[in-house]
Structure 1
Protein backbone atom coordinates (compact mmCIF):
# COMPACT_ATOMS: atom_id res chain seq x y z
CA UNK A 1 0.00 0.00 0.00
CA UNK A 2 2.86 2.37 0.78
CA UNK A 3 4.16 1.93 -2.78
CA UNK A 4 0.81 3.09 -4.14
CA UNK A 5 0.71 6.10 -1.81
CA UNK A 6 4.23 7.13 -2.74
CA UNK A 7 3.64 6.49 -6.44
CA UNK A 8 0.56 8.71 -6.42
CA UNK A 9 2.31 11.67 -4.85
CA UNK A 10 1.28 15.12 -6.05
CA UNK A 11 4.49 15.54 -8.05
CA UNK A 12 4.04 12.24 -9.87
CA UNK A 13 0.34 12.79 -10.52
CA UNK A 14 0.97 16.30 -11.84
CA UNK A 15 3.56 14.84 -14.20
CA UNK A 16 1.09 12.20 -15.37
CA UNK A 17 -1.60 14.82 -15.98
CA UNK A 18 0.86 16.84 -18.03
CA UNK A 19 1.39 13.76 -20.16
CA UNK A 20 -2.37 13.21 -20.35
CA UNK A 21 -2.74 16.76 -21.63
CA UNK A 22 -0.30 16.06 -24.47
CA UNK A 23 -2.13 12.82 -25.28
CA UNK A 24 -5.45 14.66 -25.47
CA UNK A 25 -4.04 17.50 -27.60
CA UNK A 26 -2.40 15.10 -30.04
CA UNK A 27 -5.56 12.97 -30.19
CA UNK A 28 -7.89 15.91 -30.85
CA UNK A 29 -5.65 17.33 -33.58
CA UNK A 30 -5.25 13.90 -35.17
CA UNK A 31 -8.98 13.12 -35.01
CA UNK A 32 -9.92 16.46 -36.59
CA UNK A 33 -7.32 16.24 -39.35
CA UNK A 34 -7.89 12.59 -40.18
CA UNK A 35 -11.68 12.98 -40.23
CA UNK A 36 -11.59 15.86 -42.73
CA UNK A 37 -9.02 14.24 -45.01
CA UNK A 38 -10.46 10.74 -44.60
CA UNK A 39 -14.00 11.89 -45.44
CA UNK A 40 -12.73 13.62 -48.58
CA UNK A 41 -10.76 10.55 -49.67
CA UNK A 42 -13.72 8.28 -48.96
CA UNK A 43 -16.04 10.40 -51.07
CA UNK A 44 -13.50 10.50 -53.91
CA UNK A 45 -13.27 6.70 -53.85
CA UNK A 46 -17.05 6.36 -53.82
CA UNK A 47 -17.84 8.73 -56.71
CA UNK A 48 -15.22 6.91 -58.83
CA UNK A 49 -13.57 9.85 -60.59
CA UNK A 50 -11.65 8.64 -63.60
CA UNK A 51 -7.91 8.24 -62.97
CA UNK A 52 -8.11 10.05 -59.60
CA UNK A 53 -10.17 7.49 -57.64
CA UNK A 54 -7.98 4.49 -58.61
CA UNK A 55 -4.83 6.40 -57.59
CA UNK A 56 -6.41 7.43 -54.29
CA UNK A 57 -7.49 3.84 -53.73
CA UNK A 58 -3.98 2.55 -54.37
CA UNK A 59 -2.45 5.05 -51.93
CA UNK A 60 -5.04 4.16 -49.28
CA UNK A 61 -4.38 0.44 -49.66
CA UNK A 62 -0.62 0.95 -49.38
CA UNK A 63 -0.77 3.13 -46.26
CA UNK A 64 -3.40 0.96 -44.54
CA UNK A 65 -1.10 -2.04 -44.82
CA UNK A 66 1.94 -0.30 -43.31
CA UNK A 67 2.67 -0.44 -39.57
CA UNK A 68 1.77 2.82 -37.82
CA UNK A 69 5.11 2.70 -36.02
CA UNK A 70 6.90 2.77 -39.39
CA UNK A 71 4.99 5.92 -40.38
CA UNK A 72 5.86 7.54 -37.04
CA UNK A 73 9.54 6.72 -37.60
CA UNK A 74 9.38 8.18 -41.11
CA UNK A 75 7.80 11.47 -40.01
CA UNK A 76 10.30 11.94 -37.18
CA UNK A 77 13.51 10.56 -38.68
CA UNK A 78 12.79 10.61 -42.42
CA UNK A 79 11.26 14.05 -42.99
CA UNK A 80 14.38 15.87 -41.70
CA UNK A 81 16.23 14.40 -44.69
CA UNK A 82 13.68 16.19 -46.89
CA UNK A 83 14.25 19.51 -45.15
CA UNK A 84 11.34 19.39 -42.69
CA UNK A 85 12.14 18.86 -39.01
CA UNK A 86 8.93 18.41 -36.99
CA UNK A 87 8.93 18.19 -33.22
CA UNK A 88 7.88 14.89 -31.66
CA UNK A 89 4.37 16.28 -31.17
CA UNK A 90 3.98 17.39 -34.78
CA UNK A 91 5.62 14.22 -36.08
CA UNK A 92 3.05 12.17 -34.16
CA UNK A 93 0.12 14.28 -35.36
CA UNK A 94 1.26 14.05 -38.99
CA UNK A 95 1.78 10.28 -38.75
CA UNK A 96 -1.58 9.76 -37.09
CA UNK A 97 -3.42 11.86 -39.67
CA UNK A 98 -1.73 10.07 -42.58
CA UNK A 99 -2.49 6.61 -41.19
CA UNK A 100 -5.95 7.22 -39.71
CA UNK A 101 -7.18 9.12 -42.80
CA UNK A 102 -6.91 5.94 -44.83
CA UNK A 103 -8.89 3.98 -42.25
CA UNK A 104 -11.60 6.63 -42.07
CA UNK A 105 -11.74 6.85 -45.88
CA UNK A 106 -12.81 3.20 -46.02
CA UNK A 107 -15.36 3.73 -43.25
CA UNK A 108 -16.84 6.69 -45.12
CA UNK A 109 -16.92 4.84 -48.43
CA UNK A 110 -18.59 1.82 -46.83
CA UNK A 111 -21.08 4.06 -45.02
CA UNK A 112 -22.12 5.76 -48.25
CA UNK A 113 -22.40 2.43 -50.05
CA UNK A 114 -24.70 1.17 -47.28
CA UNK A 115 -27.31 3.82 -48.16
CA UNK A 116 -30.06 2.51 -50.44
CA UNK A 117 -29.21 3.49 -54.05
CA UNK A 118 -32.86 4.44 -54.46
CA UNK A 119 -32.23 7.47 -52.25
CA UNK A 120 -29.91 8.97 -54.84
CA UNK A 121 -32.28 8.10 -57.67
CA UNK A 122 -35.19 9.70 -55.82
CA UNK A 123 -33.19 12.83 -55.05
CA UNK A 124 -32.11 13.23 -58.68
CA UNK A 125 -35.67 12.63 -59.86
CA UNK A 126 -36.79 15.51 -57.64
CA UNK A 127 -34.39 17.91 -59.32
CA UNK A 128 -31.38 17.82 -57.01
CA UNK A 129 -27.92 17.81 -58.51
CA UNK A 130 -25.55 14.96 -57.66
CA UNK A 131 -23.64 17.19 -55.22
CA UNK A 132 -26.86 18.41 -53.55
CA UNK A 133 -28.15 14.87 -53.22
CA UNK A 134 -24.88 13.77 -51.62
CA UNK A 135 -24.87 16.69 -49.20
CA UNK A 136 -28.51 16.72 -48.13
CA UNK A 137 -29.71 13.14 -48.65
CA UNK A 138 -26.93 10.56 -48.80
CA UNK A 139 -24.27 11.81 -46.36
CA UNK A 140 -26.69 12.48 -43.43
CA UNK A 141 -27.98 8.91 -43.70
CA UNK A 142 -24.49 7.50 -44.14
CA UNK A 143 -23.27 9.38 -41.06
CA UNK A 144 -25.69 7.48 -38.84
CA UNK A 145 -24.26 4.21 -40.10
CA UNK A 146 -20.65 5.39 -39.77
CA UNK A 147 -20.71 6.66 -36.17
CA UNK A 148 -19.99 3.32 -34.39
CA UNK A 149 -17.08 2.50 -36.72
CA UNK A 150 -15.71 6.05 -36.56
CA UNK A 151 -15.79 6.12 -32.77
CA UNK A 152 -14.08 2.73 -32.60
CA UNK A 153 -11.36 4.04 -34.92
CA UNK A 154 -10.93 7.24 -32.91
CA UNK A 155 -10.62 5.25 -29.68
CA UNK A 156 -7.91 3.15 -31.33
CA UNK A 157 -6.21 6.39 -32.38
CA UNK A 158 -6.13 7.63 -28.79
CA UNK A 159 -4.55 4.40 -27.59
CA UNK A 160 -2.12 4.33 -30.52
CA UNK A 161 -0.61 7.67 -29.46
CA UNK A 162 1.30 5.62 -26.88
CA UNK A 163 3.42 4.26 -29.76
CA UNK A 164 4.98 7.71 -30.09
CA UNK A 165 6.81 7.09 -26.83
CA UNK A 166 9.49 5.63 -29.10
CA UNK A 167 10.22 9.15 -30.45
CA UNK A 168 10.11 10.63 -26.94
CA UNK A 169 6.66 12.21 -27.23
CA UNK A 170 6.04 13.51 -23.67
CA UNK A 171 2.61 11.91 -23.50
CA UNK A 172 0.90 9.92 -20.77
CA UNK A 173 2.75 6.66 -21.47
CA UNK A 174 6.14 8.37 -21.70
CA UNK A 175 5.69 10.24 -18.42
CA UNK A 176 4.53 7.08 -16.64
CA UNK A 177 7.67 5.32 -17.83
CA UNK A 178 9.78 8.15 -16.41
CA UNK A 179 8.05 7.83 -13.04
CA UNK A 180 8.42 4.08 -12.63
CA UNK A 181 11.89 4.22 -14.15
CA UNK A 182 12.98 6.06 -11.01
CA UNK A 183 11.53 3.42 -8.71
CA UNK A 184 10.66 -0.08 -9.91
CA UNK A 185 8.08 -0.51 -7.12
CA UNK A 186 5.95 2.10 -8.91
CA UNK A 187 5.42 -0.09 -11.98
CA UNK A 188 2.12 -1.64 -10.86
CA UNK A 189 0.64 1.65 -9.53
CA UNK A 190 1.60 3.43 -12.76
CA UNK A 191 0.11 0.71 -14.97
CA UNK A 192 -3.10 0.89 -12.94
CA UNK A 193 -3.27 4.68 -13.28
CA UNK A 194 -2.54 4.44 -17.01
CA UNK A 195 -5.44 2.03 -17.42
CA UNK A 196 -7.78 4.36 -15.51
CA UNK A 197 -6.77 7.48 -17.45
CA UNK A 198 -6.98 5.85 -20.88
CA UNK A 199 -10.33 4.33 -19.94
CA UNK A 200 -11.76 7.67 -18.81
CA UNK A 201 -10.71 9.44 -22.02
CA UNK A 202 -11.92 6.67 -24.33
CA UNK A 203 -15.17 6.13 -22.41
CA UNK A 204 -15.89 9.86 -22.52
CA UNK A 205 -15.56 9.71 -26.31
CA UNK A 206 -17.95 6.76 -26.47
CA UNK A 207 -20.51 8.72 -24.39
CA UNK A 208 -20.26 11.65 -26.79
CA UNK A 209 -20.86 9.30 -29.72
CA UNK A 210 -23.94 7.81 -28.06
CA UNK A 211 -25.34 11.29 -27.50
CA UNK A 212 -24.67 12.15 -31.14
CA UNK A 213 -26.38 8.95 -32.31
CA UNK A 214 -29.49 9.79 -30.28
CA UNK A 215 -29.63 13.29 -31.78
CA UNK A 216 -29.26 12.00 -35.32
CA UNK A 217 -31.99 9.42 -34.73
Structure 2
Protein backbone atom coordinates (compact mmCIF):
# COMPACT_ATOMS: atom_id res chain seq x y z
CA UNK A 1 0.00 0.00 0.00
CA UNK A 2 1.24 3.44 -0.91
CA UNK A 3 0.23 6.92 0.21
CA UNK A 4 -2.05 7.54 -2.76
CA UNK A 5 -3.95 4.35 -1.97
CA UNK A 6 -5.21 5.75 1.37
CA UNK A 7 -8.84 6.88 1.21
CA UNK A 8 -11.28 8.04 3.92
CA UNK A 9 -13.93 5.64 5.11
CA UNK A 10 -17.21 5.58 3.26
CA UNK A 11 -19.52 8.34 4.53
CA UNK A 12 -16.79 10.13 6.51
CA UNK A 13 -16.61 13.07 4.12
CA UNK A 14 -19.93 14.38 2.90
CA UNK A 15 -20.15 17.11 0.31
CA UNK A 16 -21.57 20.31 1.80
CA UNK A 17 -24.93 21.35 0.37
CA UNK A 18 -24.81 24.81 -1.24
CA UNK A 19 -27.87 26.85 -0.33
CA UNK A 20 -29.42 29.70 -2.30
CA UNK A 21 -28.28 28.40 -5.68
CA UNK A 22 -31.66 28.08 -7.39
CA UNK A 23 -34.82 26.12 -6.80
CA UNK A 24 -33.44 23.05 -8.50
CA UNK A 25 -30.83 22.58 -5.78
CA UNK A 26 -33.47 21.90 -3.13
CA UNK A 27 -32.23 24.77 -0.94
CA UNK A 28 -32.96 27.75 -3.16
CA UNK A 29 -35.20 30.82 -2.77
CA UNK A 30 -35.59 30.92 1.03
CA UNK A 31 -32.42 28.86 1.69
CA UNK A 32 -34.06 26.72 4.34
CA UNK A 33 -35.22 29.69 6.44
CA UNK A 34 -38.90 29.49 5.58
CA UNK A 35 -41.09 32.51 4.90
CA UNK A 36 -40.91 35.98 6.45
CA UNK A 37 -40.25 36.51 10.14
CA UNK A 38 -37.50 37.14 12.67
CA UNK A 39 -35.75 33.85 11.85
CA UNK A 40 -35.65 34.73 8.15
CA UNK A 41 -33.65 37.92 8.74
CA UNK A 42 -29.89 38.15 8.77
CA UNK A 43 -29.38 40.43 11.78
CA UNK A 44 -30.98 38.22 14.43
CA UNK A 45 -31.30 39.57 17.99
CA UNK A 46 -28.96 40.11 20.89
CA UNK A 47 -28.29 37.48 23.53
CA UNK A 48 -30.93 37.49 26.27
CA UNK A 49 -33.57 39.36 24.24
CA UNK A 50 -37.06 37.99 24.91
CA UNK A 51 -39.14 39.87 22.37
CA UNK A 52 -39.70 43.00 24.45
CA UNK A 53 -40.99 41.44 27.67
CA UNK A 54 -39.08 41.88 30.90
CA UNK A 55 -36.00 39.65 30.47
CA UNK A 56 -34.98 37.06 33.01
CA UNK A 57 -31.83 38.94 34.00
CA UNK A 58 -33.94 41.90 35.16
CA UNK A 59 -36.74 39.84 36.72
CA UNK A 60 -34.52 37.92 39.11
CA UNK A 61 -32.45 40.48 41.09
CA UNK A 62 -35.31 41.80 43.23
CA UNK A 63 -33.41 42.18 46.49
CA UNK A 64 -31.90 45.66 46.98
CA UNK A 65 -28.82 46.54 48.94
CA UNK A 66 -25.08 46.35 48.74
CA UNK A 67 -23.57 43.07 47.52
CA UNK A 68 -20.18 42.53 49.11
CA UNK A 69 -17.84 41.03 46.49
CA UNK A 70 -15.41 39.92 49.23
CA UNK A 71 -17.96 38.05 51.31
CA UNK A 72 -16.69 34.78 52.75
CA UNK A 73 -19.03 31.82 52.34
CA UNK A 74 -18.56 29.01 54.84
CA UNK A 75 -19.84 25.48 55.15
CA UNK A 76 -21.68 25.41 58.47
CA UNK A 77 -21.20 22.63 61.03
CA UNK A 78 -23.00 22.72 64.39
CA UNK A 79 -21.40 21.37 67.55
CA UNK A 80 -24.22 18.84 67.83
CA UNK A 81 -22.68 17.06 64.80
CA UNK A 82 -19.35 16.66 66.59
CA UNK A 83 -20.68 13.94 68.89
CA UNK A 84 -19.64 11.26 66.40
CA UNK A 85 -15.96 11.96 67.10
CA UNK A 86 -14.36 10.21 70.11
CA UNK A 87 -13.39 12.10 73.24
CA UNK A 88 -10.00 13.84 73.01
CA UNK A 89 -9.73 13.60 69.21
CA UNK A 90 -8.72 16.31 66.78
CA UNK A 91 -11.44 17.54 64.41
CA UNK A 92 -10.31 19.39 61.30
CA UNK A 93 -11.61 19.90 57.76
CA UNK A 94 -10.22 16.55 56.60
CA UNK A 95 -11.93 14.68 59.46
CA UNK A 96 -15.22 16.47 58.79
CA UNK A 97 -15.01 15.63 55.08
CA UNK A 98 -14.25 11.99 55.86
CA UNK A 99 -17.31 11.89 58.14
CA UNK A 100 -19.45 13.34 55.34
CA UNK A 101 -20.27 16.59 57.14
CA UNK A 102 -18.57 18.95 54.66
CA UNK A 103 -17.23 18.85 51.14
CA UNK A 104 -13.52 18.81 50.45
CA UNK A 105 -11.89 22.18 49.76
CA UNK A 106 -14.55 24.42 51.36
CA UNK A 107 -14.07 26.73 54.33
CA UNK A 108 -15.68 25.50 57.55
CA UNK A 109 -17.44 27.54 60.23
CA UNK A 110 -18.52 25.92 63.51
CA UNK A 111 -21.77 27.18 65.07
CA UNK A 112 -23.08 26.65 68.59
CA UNK A 113 -26.42 24.94 67.92
CA UNK A 114 -26.90 21.86 70.08
CA UNK A 115 -24.88 20.51 72.99
CA UNK A 116 -21.37 19.10 73.27
CA UNK A 117 -20.48 16.48 75.89
CA UNK A 118 -16.84 15.69 75.12
CA UNK A 119 -13.41 17.27 74.88
CA UNK A 120 -12.33 18.01 71.30
CA UNK A 121 -9.60 19.96 69.56
CA UNK A 122 -11.44 21.67 66.71
CA UNK A 123 -9.62 23.30 63.78
CA UNK A 124 -11.75 25.42 61.41
CA UNK A 125 -11.74 28.66 59.46
CA UNK A 126 -14.24 30.45 61.73
CA UNK A 127 -16.15 29.93 64.99
CA UNK A 128 -19.19 31.59 66.47
CA UNK A 129 -18.89 32.90 70.02
CA UNK A 130 -21.29 30.32 71.44
CA UNK A 131 -19.44 27.46 69.70
CA UNK A 132 -16.10 28.66 71.03
CA UNK A 133 -17.45 28.91 74.57
CA UNK A 134 -19.07 25.46 74.40
CA UNK A 135 -15.89 23.77 73.15
CA UNK A 136 -13.65 25.49 75.70
CA UNK A 137 -16.12 24.76 78.52
CA UNK A 138 -15.52 21.02 77.99
CA UNK A 139 -11.75 21.50 78.09
CA UNK A 140 -11.26 21.49 74.32
CA UNK A 141 -9.26 23.86 72.17
CA UNK A 142 -10.20 26.09 69.25
CA UNK A 143 -7.79 26.81 66.37
CA UNK A 144 -8.65 29.31 63.62
CA UNK A 145 -7.14 28.65 60.19
CA UNK A 146 -5.76 31.66 58.32
CA UNK A 147 -5.15 35.24 59.31
CA UNK A 148 -7.91 37.70 60.24
CA UNK A 149 -8.86 40.27 57.66
CA UNK A 150 -6.61 43.31 57.75
CA UNK A 151 -7.91 46.87 57.62
CA UNK A 152 -6.95 48.56 54.36
CA UNK A 153 -5.11 51.92 54.27
CA UNK A 154 -8.19 53.90 53.18
CA UNK A 155 -10.39 52.46 55.93
CA UNK A 156 -7.63 53.00 58.50
CA UNK A 157 -7.16 56.62 57.39
CA UNK A 158 -10.92 57.26 57.62
CA UNK A 159 -11.05 55.81 61.14
CA UNK A 160 -8.06 57.91 62.24
CA UNK A 161 -9.62 61.08 60.79
CA UNK A 162 -12.89 60.39 62.63
CA UNK A 163 -11.03 59.91 65.89
CA UNK A 164 -9.06 63.15 65.52
CA UNK A 165 -12.20 65.15 64.68
CA UNK A 166 -13.91 63.88 67.83
CA UNK A 167 -10.88 64.79 69.94
CA UNK A 168 -10.63 68.30 68.49
CA UNK A 169 -14.31 69.18 69.01
CA UNK A 170 -14.67 71.65 71.96
CA UNK A 171 -17.03 70.80 74.75
CA UNK A 172 -20.02 73.18 74.42
CA UNK A 173 -21.53 72.35 77.83
CA UNK A 174 -20.46 74.70 80.72
CA UNK A 175 -18.19 73.25 83.35
CA UNK A 176 -19.03 73.02 87.03
CA UNK A 177 -18.90 76.47 88.66
CA UNK A 178 -19.18 78.32 85.37
CA UNK A 179 -22.23 80.19 84.15
CA UNK A 180 -23.18 79.78 80.54
CA UNK A 181 -23.92 82.67 78.17
CA UNK A 182 -27.05 84.67 79.03
CA UNK A 183 -29.38 85.47 76.16
CA UNK A 184 -29.87 89.20 75.61
CA UNK A 185 -33.48 90.46 75.78
CA UNK A 186 -35.28 91.16 72.54
CA UNK A 187 -35.96 94.66 71.28
CA UNK A 188 -38.76 96.30 73.26
CA UNK A 189 -38.35 93.89 76.18
CA UNK A 190 -36.95 94.76 79.58
CA UNK A 191 -36.19 92.26 82.25
CA UNK A 192 -36.14 88.51 82.11
CA UNK A 193 -39.65 87.95 80.71
CA UNK A 194 -40.25 91.22 78.84
CA UNK A 195 -43.40 92.21 80.75
CA UNK A 196 -42.16 95.76 81.36
CA UNK A 197 -42.26 96.50 77.66
CA UNK A 198 -45.99 95.80 77.65
CA UNK A 199 -46.57 98.08 80.65
CA UNK A 200 -44.80 101.00 78.97
CA UNK A 201 -47.38 101.32 76.21
CA UNK A 202 -50.35 102.49 78.34
CA UNK A 203 -48.12 105.07 80.09
CA UNK A 204 -47.23 106.60 76.73
CA UNK A 205 -50.94 106.80 75.84
CA UNK A 206 -51.72 108.59 79.13
CA UNK A 207 -49.01 111.19 78.48
CA UNK A 208 -50.49 111.98 75.05
CA UNK A 209 -53.95 112.38 76.57
CA UNK A 210 -52.70 114.91 79.15
CA UNK A 211 -51.01 117.00 76.43
CA UNK A 212 -54.22 117.14 74.37
CA UNK A 213 -56.26 118.21 77.38
TM-score (norm 1): 0.18
Larger radius of gyration: 2
TM-score (norm 2): 0.18
Greater share of strand residues, 1 or 2? Answer: 2
